[in-house]
Structure 1
Amino acid sequence: MALTIKEENQFKYIDEGAGEVLLLLHGLFGALSNWEGVVNHFKSNYRVVIPLLPIYDMPLKKAGLDGLNSFVEDFVKLKALNQMTLIGNSLGGHVGLIYTLNNPDKVKNLVLTGSSGLFENSMGGSFPKRGSYEYIKERVAYTFYDPETATKELVDEVFETTKSIPKCLRIVAIAKSAQRHNMAKEIPKIQHPTLLVWGLNDTITPPLVGHEFNKLIPNSELHFIDKCCHAPMMERPEKFNKILSEFLETRPNDS
């Protein structure tokens, strides 16, 4: 079922269901559709909200983690969200870490899957092959255990994005910002219950990264999904949703 995109002020977002808030943040080449399986599974019991991060059109001088965090802060304020379970994939996890540290009272639980913030083997930091469809196809497929998950529609979407020089400049600026911002010294300050869901075959943030997050975040638990790479919620939605459901069900309900 296709997701309905809403618009308010400068924000585009998904807002489905009612109840406790799940705020979902996508990655550098991500899209709202990455979370479709999560939305459809949880919207009957939760309010699932996904802002479209302005990765391709934010002012170039603000294109970085701080700019994205400010965007999320503004969005949360506009929608008056509180006591959220914040769920981030890849770059979205990195932004989620910064947001949680800066706004601890707004976050109830934190969920990271394939998050940057400690280490990533990414294609974003250098983009020499703009205009090469085969290169983009290969790099998109690299993010999945099963290359067939990189559908033509998905590859076409990324390829169209990378044909734009202004968009490429922003992608590179944000990727470099993420690579510079290692959070190893800050992460231990996070006291929120934290769920880590990692693909056992993740080539971008390998399993070792999941273990490192688990070691550094005091109140965290780590789960691996086999035959899965960098986007578990897309590649193994049933397993991802089961792990997330069990985590949420063990947390006390404040309402």
Structure 2
Amino acid sequence: MTNRLKKEKNFIYMEVGEGQPIIVLHGLMGGLSNFGAVAEYFSTKGYKVIIPELPLYSLNLLKTNVKSFAKYLNDFIEYKEFKDVILLGNSLGGHIGLLYTKLYPKKVKALIITGSSGLYESAMGSGYTKRSDYEVMKKKAQEVFYDPEVATKEIVDEVYETVNDRNKLIKTLAIAKSAIRHNMGKDLPKMRQPTCIIWGKNDIVTPPEVATEFHSLLPNSDLFWIDKCGHAAMMEHPKEFNEILDSWLNTRNL
């Protein structure tokens, strides 16, 4: 997917397909490649799938927060001249999508969240006291998934490099604190956009009760479960994830 990256103005992004724009928002430790199966599938279904690289580590430390990322997303959407976007976010990306929807409600046609932060953030930015120990970081990366084998050496290496880069670690912790500050609990009942919640039944980062709470607070939401699945459903069960989402988009005439 990296060979498809576009660099324009201050934006780096991947774009594939034509049609209704679906903007995909990656998480704190998640790269654009995590959504490869989503991009391949929906780009053949009448959608333009766009995955911007979020500026998690390139902004000034004081601006390294969820609100700045939502504003960056708005700058990107305005630059691309998109209207009525569908947002799809995993983990921190879901949180950014939720906050964006609160700040710019008229620009969002629908929202999809999976393993999203925004209600429960205690697992973000924690457990890095032994970051120099590769095996400890490998175990931490594996815990994201129900099947530890999904955490390839490439994924583990990326996590290890990130947490052992002092600048990135400081900003990771700043993002985690920002996520706690930007709890969305009071905002969700006012957000009436169609929302698809797809959740791993075995997610230990954002446990199943978090999905249930999102569903109860979001007035126009549908909740779907994937069994034997952890925090990144679109990676661990891409076929089932895509089928659930495709069916939901059709049901909602999106």
In structure 2, what is the Cα distance between the partners aligned to 1:7 and 1:146? 35
1:3–1:36 contact (8 Å) kept in structure 2? no
Shift of residue 252 of structure 1? 3.0
- TM-score with structure 2 length normalisation? 0.96
Shift of residue 128 of structure 1? 2.0
1:127–1:172 contact (8 Å) kept in structure 2? no
Determine the structure 1 residue equivalent to 2:193. Answer: 192
Please say if 1:5 is aligned against 2:1: no
When structure 1 is superposed on structure 2, of 121-130 and 191-200 the one drifting more is 121-130
Determine the structure 2 residue equivalent to 1:41. Answer: 41
Shift of residue 130 of structure 1? 2.9
SS across alignment from 2:244? helix
SS across alignment from 1:201? coil
Determine the structure 2 residue equivalent to 1:173. Answer: 174
Shift of residue 133 of structure 1? 1.1
Determine the structure 2 residue equivalent to 1:96. Answer: 97
Amino acid at match of 2:22: L
Determine the structure 1 residue equivalent to 2:106. Answer: 105
Shift of residue 29 of structure 1? 0.4
2:121–2:179 contact (8 Å) kept in structure 1? no
Determine the structure 2 residue equivalent to 1:205. Answer: 206
In structure 1, what is the Cα distance between the partners aligned to 2:126 and 2:179? 9
Determine the structure 2 residue equivalent to 1:216. Answer: 217
2:146–2:229 contact (8 Å) kept in structure 1? yes
Amino acid at match of 1:31: G
When structure 1 is superposed on structure 2, of 222-231 and 79-88 the one drifting more is 79-88
Determine the structure 2 residue equivalent to 1:143. Answer: 144
Alignment coverage as a number of residue pairs: 253
Amino acid at match of 2:206: T
Determine the structure 2 residue equivalent to 1:228. Answer: 229
Q: Residue 156 and residue 119 in structure 1: after superposition, are their counterparts in 2 closer, same or farther (change >3 A)?
A: same
C-alpha RMSD of matched pairs (Å): 1.3
User: What is the percentage of aligned positions where both structures have the same residue?
Assistant: 49
- TM-score with structure 1 length normalisation? 0.96
Shift of residue 220 of structure 1? 0.4
Q: Residue 10 and residue 2 in structure 1: after superposition, are their counterparts in 2 closer, same or farther (change >3 A)?
A: closer
Shift of residue 120 of structure 1? 3.3
In structure 1, what is the Cα distance between the partners aligned to 2:169 and 2:26? 18
1:6–1:14 contact (8 Å) kept in structure 2? yes
2:189–2:217 contact (8 Å) kept in structure 1? yes
Q: Which consecutive residues of structure 2, in runs of 5 or more, have no partner in the other structure?
A: none
Determine the structure 2 residue equivalent to 1:56. Answer: 57
Determine the structure 1 residue equivalent to 2:74. Answer: 73
SS across alignment from 2:89? strand
